[in-house]
Chains A and B, each alone.
Chain A
Amino acid sequence: MSLPTQSSGLFTEQVSEDKLVVSIGPQHPGAGHFRFTIRVEGDTITECIPDPGYVHRGGEKQTEYRTYIQSIPMIERSSLLDVTNITLPYCMAAEELMGIQVPPRAQYLRMIMSENQRIISHLYWLGIQGIFLGHSTMFMWPLGDRDIFIDLGQMIGGARITYSYCVPGGVRNDMPPNFKDRAMKVFEYFESRLKDYERIFFRSPLFEKRTRGVGVLSRSDAISLGVAGQVLRASGVKSDTRIDEPYCFYKDISFEVPVYDDGDTWARCMVHLEEMRQSMSIIRQCLEKMPQGQIKVKLSPQQRAQAGEAYCRTEAARGAMAFHIISDGSTKPYRTKWSVPSFRNLIALPKLLVGSHVADMPAIYWSLDYWPVEADR
């Protein structure tokens, strides 16, 4: 028997003595702009049907009636947690169609901003994961530290989070001269903070009890479902676009890709933690290696692209993010297709929830780092 559809599934229904159908979201502390229906037997979830699409704003369609540069702020809004990483593949694909070579300094600036954004996004994730596990301190600490990294981004980008930094042809601003000193201070501070995080949260018995062995996704399932990012790496697959298909100057930078074999919520959390360390090390190396020079190739606002197709992939904060642009040679794309990691990770949710306890639901759900705005586009 299938679950009730949207119209009838708004409320909790008692099906029999020990069976319930529970509708969760969109107004729910554990769901955000997302809804799913679960069937519960006692305390065990037996079926789960996700219902995404509450934030579908038709971004793909809208790029068709905006010029290449006009689309950028709108694409950025799809993943406000991760703004540089989502515009980067779009700009790379547009540059490929326009036949532009981006100056090396701009490439390094792009890398710095994307890694900074990755830390910002992971800290937001960590704050919410903390509160989902009933740990209020772990909500306050990462959100406070996140503001420090936002300030760092603000020094380069000029806005708090929406700086539309990458544009076809390069980046918008150069970095101020005092950025390097400031960044080094922030990293020094944050490294000691990460140790505090580990002490108070990641190694606490509460965290271990609530995440170890909860929501296990095996390696073969992870591959066959086609999940991305941290979910894939926590299931023992070493996959990272920055290493597999290096873009910008990632091939010149040495960093590690954290991989865990457990596949449970604990492993997914640890991958996030480790990635923040790696991102800081990447920014440090970028600041060392960065050459002087141009930051952008000047383009006309009505720049035309050659007819054809381009496909570019980068590693965003949640996993591989890809853009496919089809151009008919005019000033606007003919069609764009965005492949976002959040939406690909959603498919793992029913798999992970079935068989687990109701109380584990928030921890499993948020460990996928599912961001509905990005998934619905």
Chain B
Amino acid sequence: MVAQELESQQQQQQPPKKGSASLHSHEGPGLNILVGKAREVIQQAIVDPVTYLANWGRLYSLWPVHLETACCSIEWGAVSGPRFDAERYGILEAFGSLRQCDLVVVHGTVTRKMAPRLRFIYDQMPEPKWVIAMGACSISGGVYFDSYNVLPGVDQVIPVDVYVPGCPPRPEELIDAFILLQDKIRNSNIKKTS
């Protein structure tokens, strides 16, 4: 966003030479180099630091929404407990409104009754938002792959960023998933969220 605005300002400041349509193609390399240089300068001086700052801010304050879908939520409880303590990584379950949340951890099986609710909750959350699919059930259906009431994978309803295999995953694996997600956020582009 920032880059585009600045870029358009920059372009407006350039005095148009003999009709703007031919600006980039036929007028020799001089101006092209100038625009390219200016873009690079803006990128390095403004966009990169702003992106870094915004991502850094999001990185260590992930608020998962309190939505338990199945038995993996027990290991979620253990992760919030004192031995594994996800709060060290800036992840603390939000007991308030889901409109303040930016992370959905799908705790296992999503049944046909839960799926519309999951989508409903996901749609109400503000951007940017991320999803961790926890457990074999939310990846492919797990032990219930042939059940009549279970979705074979939660990615049929919402987009998933990190998959955590296991049935249930050990708390260490879940913490590893948080670190993976933080890596992803650290390297993400501010213009395009989720």
Contacts and interface: CB of A to CB of B under 8 A. Distances in A.
Physical interaction between A and B: yes
A359 B132 CA distance: 32
Contact of A27 (B65, B81, B111): B65
B74 A57 contact: no
Interface in A44-100: 53-59, 61-62, 65, 73-74, 77-81
B38 interface: no
Contact of A57 (B73, B78, B147): B147
Interface in B132-181: 143-144, 146-150, 167-168, 170
Interface of A: 10, 26-29, 32-33, 53-59, 61-62, 65, 73-74, 77-81, 124, 127-128, 139-140, 143-144, 146-147, 150, 160-162, 373
15 contacts: A27-B65, A29-B66, A33-B70, A74-B143, A77-B143, A80-B74, A140-B81, A143-B77, A143-B78, A143-B82, A143-B83, A144-B82, A146-B81, A161-B74, A162-B168
B42 interface: no
A120 to B, nearest CB: 10
B61 to A, nearest CB: 19
A147 B73 contact: no
B83 A27 contact: no
B81 A58 contact: no
B143 A54 contact: no
Contacts of A59: 144, 147
Q: Which 5 A-B pairs have the closest CB atoms?
A: A143-B81, A80-B71, A144-B82, A58-B147, A29-B95
Contacts of B146: 62, 65
B149 A58 contact: yes
B83 A147 contact: yes
Contacts of A150: 78
B147 A61 contact: yes
Contact of B67 (A27, A78, A128, A161): A27
A138 to B, nearest CB: 12
Contacts of B182: none
A373 B81 contact: no
Contact of A55 (B70, B75, B143, B170): B70
Contacts, number: 100
A55 B77 contact: no
A150 B80 CA distance: 16
Contacts of A10: 120
Contacts of B65: 27
B98 interface: yes
B68 interface: yes
Contact of B81 (A29, A54, A127): A127
A56 B168 contact: no
Contacts of B121: 27
Given A55-B70, A57-B149, 4 more contacts: A27-B98, A77-B143, A140-B82, A143-B82
A112 B113 CA distance: 37
A55 B81 contact: no
A33 B73 CA distance: 10
A65 B170 CA distance: 29
A161 B170 CA distance: 9
A81 B67 contact: no
Contacts of A55: 69-71, 109, 111, 114
Contacts of A128: 77
Contacts of A77: 71, 143-144, 167
A59 B144 CA distance: 8
B130 to A, nearest CB: 17
B133 to A, nearest CB: 16
Contacts of B111: 54-57
Contacts of B66: 27-29
Contacts of B68: 26, 32-33
Given A32-B68, A143-B78, A147-B78, A61 B109 contact: no
A127 B77 contact: yes
Nearest to B170: A160
B117 interface: yes
Contact of A373 (B70, B77, B120, B148): B70
